[in-house]
Homo-oligomer: A and B are copies of this chain.
Amino acid sequence: METTCSPSDRRDELACKRMREAVAAWEAALGSRHVILDESERRAAESATYPTRQSIPVILRPGNRAEIQEILRIANRFQVPLYAVSTGKNWGYGSRVPSAGGCALVELHRLNRIVAFDERLAYVTVEPGVTQRQLFTFLKENGSKLWMDATGASPDCSLIGNTVERGFGHTPYGDHFANCCGLEVVLPDGEVARTGFAGWKGAHAAAVYRWGVGPSLDGLFTQSNLGIVTRMTVWLMPAPEYFQAFFFRCEERHGLGPLVDALRPLRLNGTLRSTVHIGNDYKVLSGIRQYPWEEAGGRTPLPENVMSRFRRQLQFGHWNGSGALYGTKAQVAEARRLVRGALRGNVGRLQFLDENTLRLAERFAKPYRWLTGWDLSRTLELARPVLGLMKGIPAEQTLGSVYWRKRGPIPAQPDPDRDGCGLLWYSPVAPLEGSHVERASGIATEVLTRHGFEPMISLSLVTDRAVACVVSICYDRAQAGEDGRAMACYEELGRSLTEAGYPPYRLGNMPVKGAGSDAIGEKLKRAFDPAGVLSPGRYARVD
């Protein structure tokens, strides 16, 4: 027990005493094998992909909702804080590390049941431990004709975890929080609440109608510290008759604005029903390979002449996009015509690809190159997992890019937290307008470059009117001084973008800066969690 708490003054001593008593109570409630005091396990949980100082005195692994309720009651009794994660793979946003020091970490991966499934109405109801992989396998094993939406993150990410962080994916169900309902939540005082019609005994529409009657409360439990979500219904998409992906590239650094403006009408009129993702050259290269140390002569950041050689050699543009079309053959054909028309003159190359074409291309990549001069093989290597994501197939490969600046090879079982991968994500939101997207990505490029990092940027047209710009600061935590430089860069990036009018869509374990007063947030926290035991500081606003 001594390892979990090292008091430096009397106040700390009292806190330590309370935590010790709470741990004893938790051991009695959960069984001691689910109350982890082991130092190496705690140290691992304290590691994110950027420097953090928050210590974790104990890890709790409840097996069901009743145990979570008991955990919270005990926390209130002893006035000790806790921090809940689903599977804790929130890489780039803080992993499992709490937003405040001294929190017991509550991991929910043992709650991993798919508790309901309806093929006709196209939904599943899941617990927080259910991962992307698990749902995908479940659907396959049940011969389901439904597609899930997957994020590009690890297949072992929690569906609920991603949804309550308001993550997004690649299909028409890509805005995850817009495609769920019926939350079951353990409130900080240990009470259980259910949102929408899930709160009504026997309501048939509990899993299909979102708002219920009376105030709609789902939003309260996303990006918040007002409750622990223990169940959620996730809507699924019926597999379309036909599916086609498209890939495009834009050779001009300044081509981004017109490109975004050309896509907006297709998003707004429903032709593009899913997110279009656009990545810059740095983003693409980091997806293909690790940092080219040799070509760069060991220097960082990557010199432009090296980058430009890769663009030519691997045939990608300054901006590189992908999207997908879903429907009947005729619906897709018409959408293809519209996409082609919109992108004409705005992109250097536009390529449509379906499963058949891809299989064919994989077979004939070499002769194709010989005929056309275009080397498909690299494109195909990148295309396969992206094509999968567009059909809701979780991708194993995407984790590789986190190892961009690492000197060694990517391990067979990657673990960015363990392996000292440096990754900070900052994701400002801009209106779906060329000028705004150019301005936000311009700021990011300038700040990252000045701090010695490659300005990796992807732009996701997440809704009909907005773009989430995901900016990655990718570095090697093993390099002396890099942690500090990355944090300084991150601070400036956040400040600059917020001041320019582009606050982020998500933050993880960092505080929210620049938002101004928060009358409602404070009222809510006091009302739900007067003792402040649950995830203190999470999405808290600071000046």
Contacts and interface: CB of A to CB of B under 8 A. Distances in A.
Contacts of A201: 516
A453 interface: no
B220 A220 contact: yes
A314 to B, nearest CB: 33
A273 B214 CA distance: 26
Given A197-B503, A214-B512, A539-B214, A208 B465 contact: yes
Contact of A238 (B209, B265, B539): B265
B199 A515 contact: yes
Contacts of A430: 204-205
B502 A203 contact: yes
A213 B503 contact: yes
A252 interface: no
A320 B151 CA distance: 42
A200 B514 CA distance: 8
Interface in A435-468: 436, 463-466
Contacts of A526: 527
Interface residues of A, number: 92
**Copies of the chain in the assembly:** 2
A433 B121 CA distance: 8
A433 B120 CA distance: 9
Interface stretch (A41-49, A222-230, A301-309, A381-389): A222-230
A71 interface: no
A218 interface: yes
B270 A466 contact: no
Contact of A204 (B436, B515, B524, B527): B436
A364 to B, nearest CB: 31
Contact of A202 (B202, B326, B501): B501
A411 to B, nearest CB: 33
A205 B502 contact: yes
Given A209-B429, A429-B197, A516-B200, A270 B215 contact: no
B235 A226 contact: no
A123 B432 CA distance: 13
A519 interface: yes
Given A192-B519, A204-B501, A215-B224, 9 more contacts: A121-B431, A177-B211, A193-B520, A215-B219, A219-B219, A220-B220, A271-B327, A271-B331, A526-B527
Closest 6 CB pairs of A and B: A216-B219, A527-B527, A208-B465, A209-B466, A215-B224, A330-B334
11 contacts: A200-B498, A203-B503, A205-B430, A213-B223, A213-B503, A215-B521, A216-B218, A235-B465, A238-B269, A240-B269, A328-B334
